[in-house]
Structure 1
Amino acid sequence: MDVTVLRPDELTAADLGAWGAMQRADRALANPFLAPEFARAVGHRRATARVARLSEGGRTVGFFPFERHALGAGKPIGSGFCDCQGLIHRPGLDWDPAELLRACGLALWEYDHLAAGQTPFETAGTPRVRVASPVMELNGGHRTYLERLRPKVLRAARAQERRLARDVGPLRLDFHSPDPVLLDTLIRWKSGQQRSKGRRDVLGQAWFLAILRELFDLPSESCSGTLSVLHAGDAPVAMLYGLRSREVYATWFPTYDTRFAKYSPGILLHLKLAEAAAQRGITHIDMGKGTSRYKDALKTADLSVTEGYVGRRTPGAMLCRLRMASDRTVHTAINAHPLVHRAAVRAVSAVDRLR
């Protein structure tokens, strides 16, 4: 197998066409985070971004988007905010992870949202843990989705919808609003919520906002930044910025106006979104790994997402593994003490602002 490493902007029109065909051929690869548009947007802001093009007999058979860091440490492209990772490939392709890493100049590749069907990586590597990623299944249509929900969830949501309509105004969903003013509002709401919870505010970083805005309203069927807005009367009460492909709506940044928190506007938005998405042929809404009250209420299934790494037998890989183990120890210690955690988040945010 021949491997050519490129910067994302060096992909040709033929590459983009082959990449899209591979995604359409395998539902497990349909996630917009695996699309070339996402890789190119990250590449415009991260000098470490690369794409390996895999060829056999002169025919392109796969693409591996990644980031290359010091000591040959590899991460998924968009590491830290990429919710689906792996090698985009032709159906039935088998590959040697060690040979792929060698060709990419990597000693080790660490992942935390490995997509389904990436068997060679899992077999050759060290999967640390499998994590549930809740989804809203729409492949049977909107009515079937509602039938899968717990009755008490639906009853509570309908009661909240009636109260919100009575107190503020009738509800209306814009599946996608291209209004940049509303996008700025979402960023302000979400940043405020992240800071109030003592979490790192990725939306407060100019380089990330540039990626988000590049993908916003992108005329692409494989990856388009989508701003869904729930209105009550004339007031936007909840919004969601996600990435959309033909079949998958991957939620990214859900948020709401805290003045309307008592009405559970986020849950109401997702329920309205399910109906609009099903009408457009989207088969599932991927809410991302991890648990929360609204995800537990709205999900009808869980995808299995793997965290782990795959490495070569080299001194560089050993150094990367030692650093990873050290990082996990530090993170565990920090997360165990709320005051230390908040101080660490403030320090990281200050560095981000300086950058």
Structure 2
Amino acid sequence: MKIDVIQALQLSPEDSARWTSLQALQPRLDSPFLSPQWAKAVATAQADQGDRVKVAVIRDDDGQALAYLPVRVKAGVAMPAGAPMCDYQALVSEHDIAVDPRRLLAALKAQRLDFCHMLADDETLARHGRGQADSWIVDVSAGYEAYAT
């Protein structure tokens, strides 16, 4: 496996499409905060600091993207792209993809990855958490009226 790190605003249309398709494969990844559009929006909103929003792209030996991890890197610390206000995070990947976190850190040029709302079943990062707690979401997949009643 190879890990490429690119600025969120430099994400190619092909990578954006692949990321979106990987997200669609797993209902647990169905969140706008795990999308390529979110990473790009955060980078755009950061203006002069938008270059800190990066995406680690894990590729197989043929160059096919297997996973995406959007982060913001500052002073050797990688954190969710939208942290601290929106820090929902997961490795958006094919099923059962695990990556050595040390390789991720090295590729990101970071000494640590801070996270607090990682999906509990994330193969790569969840086992490195210090604790676990429920996190609430609002399911409006059937429309707001169905949710409200």
Equivalent in the alignment of 1:36: 36
Q: Deviations over 1:236-258 (max 9, x none)?
A: xxxxxxxxxxx499xxxxxxxxx
8 Å CA contact retained: 1:75, 1:109: yes
Question: What are the residue-to-residue correspondences of 1:182-331 with 2, within 5 Å?
Answer: 247=141, 273-275=144-146
Question: Which residue number in structure 2 is paired with residue 18 of structure 1?
Answer: 18
Equivalent residues in 2 for 1:101-120, closer than 5 Å: 101-120=105-124
TM alignment of 1:45-194, pairs within 5 A: 45-46=45-46, 47=49, 48-57=52-61, 58-70=63-75, 72-123=76-127, 125=128, 127-135=129-137
**Residues 38 and 136 (structure 1), Cα distance of their counterparts in 2 relative to 1, 3 Å cut:** closer
> If you compute each CA radius of gyration, which structure gives the higher value, 1 or 2?
1
- Checking the alignment, whether the CA contact within 8 Å between 2:90 and 2:122 is kept in structure 1 is yes
Residue 60 of structure 1 aligns with an amino acid whose one-letter code is: A
Deviation at 1:274, TM superposition (A): 4.5
The structure with more helix, counted as a fraction of residues: 1
What secondary structure sits across from 2:67 in the alignment?
strand
**Amino acid across the alignment from 2:73:** R
Q: Tell me if structure 1 keeps the 8 A contact 2:118–2:125.
A: no
2 CA distance for matches of 1:59 and 1:248? 34
Say whether the 8 Å CA contact 1:23–1:29 is kept in structure 2. Answer: yes
- Preserved CA contact (<8 Å) 1:54 1:62: yes
What RMSD in Å do the two structures reach over aligned CA positions? Answer: 2.3
Distance in 2, matches of 1:83 and 1:76, equals 5
Q: Which moved more, 1:46-55 or 1:11-20?
A: 46-55
Structure 1, unaligned runs of 5 or more: 139-246, 250-272, 279-297, 299-355
Please give the per-residue CA displacement for 1:176-219, whole angstroms capped at 9, x wherever unaligned.
Answer: xxxxxxxxxxxxxxxxxxxxxxxxxxxxxxxxxxxxxxxxxxxx
Residue in structure 2 matched with residue 6 of structure 1 by the alignment: 6
Between the aligned partners of 2:18 and 2:85, the Cα distance in structure 1 is: 25
Q: How many residues align?
A: 144
TM-score after normalising by structure 2: 0.86
Task: Give the C-alpha shift of residue 120 in structure 1.
Answer: 2.2
The 2-side partners of 1:101 and 1:109 are apart by: 7
TM-score computed with the length of structure 1 as normaliser: 0.38
The 1:274–1:131 alpha-carbon spacing in structure 2 relative to 1, beyond 3 Å, is: farther
Residues of 2 paired with 1:5 and 1:35: CA distance? 16
Instruction: Give 3-state SS (helix, strand or coil) of 1:51's partner.
Output: strand
Once residues 62 and 29 of structure 1 are traced to their aligned partners in structure 2, the CA distance between those partners, rounded to angstroms, is 12
C-alpha separation between the residues in 2 aligned to 1:44 and 1:91? 30
Percentage identity across paired residues of the two chains? 25
Gaps of 5+ in 2: none
* Local SS of the residue matching 1:14: helix
Distance 1:83 1:109 in 2: 12
